Amino acid sequence: MDFRLVINGLGHAFLKEFGCFCARCQRDEHVANTSASIVGTDKKNGEVAWHCLVDTGLGVTRSLCDYFSPADARLDWLLFSHWHPDHTLELNRLGETLRRMARNRNTKFIRIPAWCRNGTARWLQKNYSYEWYRHLRPYISEEVSSPGAILEAVPLGIEGIKITPVTVSHYTADIDPLTFKNKLYSSASFVIETESKKAILLWDADNMNEWILRPETDEQAHARDLMIGADYLFIDCLEWSVEEVQGFNTGHLSFYTVKKYASVLHPHQTLIVHMSGHEDGEGNCGYGWSDDRWESEAEKAWKSSGLEGSIRVPTIGEEFFL
């Protein structure tokens, strides 16, 4: 099989914000929450033979409809980076359309193998009980590892690709979603490896992932090593510089921290996603910027910092060969 990664969305949680005058909220084009598809095609006939979706927030189903021809539509795996609604909200739409698709094709609907960590499983069982039992065949990581741990690879059951979850700190999701009281690390990044390429999906993540900059244990050092030298680093970049609003950590990376993480991870291409800029505040860098503006400002800052590789903002439907 040949593999590629396709971008389904790169928006922050609220996409266009109701009542906001900024240029980002006033644009016309299709927007969707941050999500990607890993697509395997048959080497002989080029047909889509495998599809693994990472996160299913708002607008993602529309992106899938736009990218896949109806005959190529399928879903073999669903991975959840964490439980936040902007990564789960279209679960019902996705599951129900897949069930209808099976019915229209006169085939049996097979529940979708779905990987997630404990906290995410708790959230889905509580808030998406119908979808959990009707649409998914869950694979729960069954651990409460702190950030910087390599988890068991997702049991994809196919050759030529390996997906390894690595735990990350994402402040606003690192809590038991049943009680919102006790700490429960719930977020994962993913390291995708094929015979020739490595891609990292590092969303959503915050500025407390010290293990990336200064690993303290062998396990953290191994996790960082696994992420070094990727062909593509897709990374959370919610803000230009502000990472605290009214005394609270936003739970996301600013471009400032993206630069720090990239300086030790040495990716060939850095691709910023989950952008908002609203947190930076009106009149400041990042606020209301279009994706083009984000890209040109990021490029300038990348060069002036002497960072290696390129930095870009991907587009919905853009393909990255793996």
31 and 59 Cβ atoms separated by less than 8 Å: yes
Q: Whole-number minimum distance, CB 304 to Zn ion, in Å?
A: 27
Residue closer to Zn ion (CB basis): 86 or 280: 86
* By CB under 5 A, residue 73 contacts Zn ion: no
Locate the DSSP E strands across the chain: 2-9, 35-41, 48-54, 77-79, 112-116, 136-140, 161-168, 187-194, 198-202, 232-236, 244-245, 248-249, 269-273, 310-312, 319-321
Q: Whole-number minimum distance, CB 218 to Zn ion, in Å?
A: 28
Q: Whole-number minimum distance, CB 196 to Zn ion, in Å?
A: 30
Q: Whole-number minimum distance, CB 199 to Zn ion, in Å?
A: 18
Residues within window 9-28 making contact with Zn ion, judged by CB under 5 A: 17, 20, 22, 25
Among 90, 193, 204, 206, binds Zn ion (CB under 5 A): 204
* By CB under 5 A, residue 280 contacts Zn ion: no
H or E stretch covering 265: helix 255-265
Q: Whole-number minimum distance, CB 47 to Zn ion, in Å?
A: 32
CA proximity to 268, closest of 307, 304, 295, 301 = 307
Does the CA dihedral 43-48-52-56 come out positive or negative?
positive
H or E stretch covering 133: helix 129-134
Residue closer to Zn ion (CB basis): 14 or 139: 14
Residues within window 227-266 making contact with Zn ion, judged by CB under 5 A: none
Q: Whole-number minimum distance, CB 93 to Zn ion, in Å?
A: 18
Residues within window 171-190 making contact with Zn ion, judged by CB under 5 A: 173
Using CB under 5 A as the binding criterion, the count of chain residues that bind Zn ion stands at: 8
Q: Whole-number minimum distance, CB 15 to Zn ion, in Å?
A: 10
Cα(153)–Cα(116) distance, integer angstroms? 12
Tokens standing for residue 81 = 């980076």
* By CB under 5 A, residue 208 contacts Zn ion: no
Q: Whole-number minimum distance, CB 57 to Zn ion, in Å?
A: 7
Stretch that binds Zn ion, among 39-47, 76-84, 125-133, 255-263 (CB under 5 A): 76-84
Among 6, 55, 84, 174, binds Zn ion (CB under 5 A): 84
Question: Pairing between strand 48-54 and 161-168?
Answer: unpaired
Residue closer to Zn ion (CB basis): 158 or 285: 285
Residue closer to Zn ion (CB basis): 56 or 220: 56
CA-based diameter of the chain, in Å? 58
SS in 3 state form for 185-247?
Answer: CCEEEEEEEECCCEEEEECCCCCCCHHHHCCCCHHHHHHHHHHCCCCEEEEECCECCCCEECC
121 and 186 Cβ atoms separated by less than 8 Å: no
List residues near Zn ion by CB under 5 A: 17, 20, 22, 25, 84, 86, 173, 204
